Structure 1
Amino acid sequence: MENKKHIIGYNAYIIVWLSLLALTAITVSVAGIHLGDYTLLIAMFIAAIKSALVINIFMHIKFDEPIFKVFLALSGLTLLIIFVLTFFDFIYR
């Protein structure tokens, strides 16, 4: 197995960190605005963007082997199934 190195400069980490701070500020701002049913949808969308940044850059999944990406996708799918089942239980209660 070939040992591939990837180097991410400090500039990329700082840009991602500032992006995460900005997205957190946007999330807090959106939480204070009454958008009806869309508030949760927007908050989840922003959280998905933030988690994608953390997973790809800070956890280095972007540079890992494909098997790790498959397991990450399977765990995300499992979490999505749990959320859907929970929401169905909540709706039909």
Structure 2
Amino acid sequence: MNTANSQHQEGFGHVVPLGTLLAVFAALIVLTVITVAATWVDLGSANLFLAMGIAAIKATLVALYFMHLRYDHPFNALVFVVGLLFLTLFLGLTLLDTKQYSPEIQAAVETPV
């Protein structure tokens, strides 16, 4: 019997303790409350970055614990992080473009038809 194959059995997932799942769930609820509370405070353009940061933390918690990425092969974590970086890059470029055309869009909205 090969010892390398006997240590890792295919078909069996990692069982996460209930306490860990409940703690992550509670953290997600707290982060959701913080996201809603952040809408009551006017931080200017920082509101968007705050909301995106909180959403990234929540997505990371879900991927790590509910999708078992924390207990998986490190290459999968690398793929997740690279995907998150590309998503940030693409959203950032989109937001820059939106900022560029914002005066034209605002003028079009205010002009009666």
- TM-score, length-scaled by structure 2: 0.70
Aligned residue pairs total 93
RMSD: 1.9
State the Cα deviation string for residues 13-60 of structure 1 (Å, max 9, x = none): 111111101110110011122111211111111111111111111011
- Counterpart contact for 2:14–2:68, Cα < 8 Å: no
Structure 1 segment 61-76 matched on structure 2, within 5 A: 61-76=69-84
Distance in 1, Cα, partners of 2:25 & 2:18:
10
Gaps in structure 1 of 5+ consecutive residues: none
Match of 2:59 among 23, 46, 51: 51
Would the alpha carbon gap of residues 38 and 83 (structure 1) be closer, same or farther in structure 2, given more than 3 Å must change? Answer: same
Q: Which runs of 4+ in 1 moved over 6 A?
A: none
Gaps in structure 2 of 5+ consecutive residues: 102-113
Q: Give me the identity figure in percent.
A: 32
- TM-score, length-scaled by structure 1: 0.83
**Partner in structure 2 of residue 91 of structure 1:** 99
Larger radius of gyration: 2
Would the alpha carbon gap of residues 84 and 38 (structure 1) be closer, same or farther in structure 2, given more than 3 Å must change? Answer: closer
